[in-house]
Every structure is written in C-alpha cells, then in structure tokens.
Amino acid sequence: MYKEKYINSNIIAKGLLKNFFKKIEKISYPIRNELHNILEIGCGHGYSTYELCKIFDKSLLEASDVDFELVQDAQVKNPTIKISTESIYQLNREDESFDLVILLEVLEHLSDPDQALRELYRVSKKYCIISVPDEPLWRILNMVRGSYWGDLGNTPGHVNHWSKSRIERLAGAYFKIITIVRSTPWILLLVKKY
C-alpha cells in the first residue's frame, strides 16, 4: 500500500483504512487459534505490518517486499519484526511454511498475478488473506477526490483491475474461498488451501 494512505490527515481516508483493518481482524478471528506463524508479502514501507501487529501476535509475524529501500523503511517502523527482501514470484521460503500468508494491495501491481498466487499456495500451510482495490469503485473514488484524471482514475502502477467476480475467479483457481467481503474501497478474501 502506498505510504500516503497511512499518513493522510483526511478523516474519511483514515476511517476507511481503520475499517479495512477491522475487517481483516473480523475475517481472521475464526482461524486465530490455528496460527503459529504469519507472512505478509508486499509490506512496502511497513505501515500495513504495523497495523497487522495490532491484530496478530507480533511474535508470529514476518514480512517481505521486493524493494530493498522499502524493506529498510519497514524495518525501522517495525524493529521487532523480521523483514526480508524477496520477489513474490520466487519467495525464499520452504513449501508450506506459514499458517497464514497475507497479501494486501499487491495483485493490482503485478504483471503475473497467477504466478504470485502459485507462490502463495506453495508457502501457505493453510490460509491466505488477499486484498485488492474494488474496481470500478476505486477509480471512481479517485476521480471524485480529483486524482489521476488523465488516467481516468487509475492509480499509477495499477496494471490489473479487480472486480469481485474477477478476484473470486483467480483466487478460486488456487484456493477454497472461505470469506469474501467488501471494505470500501477494497475487496478482502480469506482463502484456504484445498
């Protein structure tokens, strides 16, 4: 997730983000006792990692990102969390090594989301939580707030656009969908390995 979302002083944006993490807490509650280790992939500057530490026992959490500079920022923000540099397309992890793998707002940036989900499937023992921007609502809200008009509301770097049915199809090809919810302007899924 972009850093600006977390440092935004807009009360509406703060409320949407707070609700987003409350939804993560809610959908993960039924599996909480099954979790002994958790990996967040695509942690960026570490703001999402910081929020996830409020939901999950931080001693269970590790994080990673492909960008070394972002990993350094994330490590400063989360000094007790192990944060690594690695590509989602080739994670430096053993097969079935995490009870829960978390991927928040990453798939829209990837040229090969199928390969990313294959890697999630490989390193997950049981569950994944995935979030994506809810399209076309995401673009509409960008335009309402006066952003990215030249790109019809498309956030820079978004190469995939996920509707509920599209993300269900992709995730359903690899996982059993346990829960899918909207947290405006995002879609959240809790999925389980078959």
Give, in order, the Cα–Cα distances in Å from 161 to each of 26, 30, 92, 107, 120: 25, 29, 28, 9, 20
Least confident of 47-56, 76-85, 104-113, 137-146: 137-146
The encoded tokens of residue 172 equal: 């359903």
Q: What domains lie within the chain, and their CATH numbers? A: 3-193 (3.40.50.150)
Q: What is the mean pLDDT of the chain?
A: 93
Q: What is the mean pLDDT of residues 14-26?
A: 95
Reported as a single tens digit per residue, the pLDDT across 118-129 is 999 999 999 999
User: For the whole model, what pTM was predicted?
Assistant: 0.92
The encoded tokens of residue 152 equal: 């019809």
Q: What angle do CA 185, 190, 191 make, to 5 degrees?
A: 130
Q: What are phi and psi of 183, to 5 degrees?
A: -135, 90
CB atoms within 10 A of CB 123: 18
pLDDT for 54 equals 96
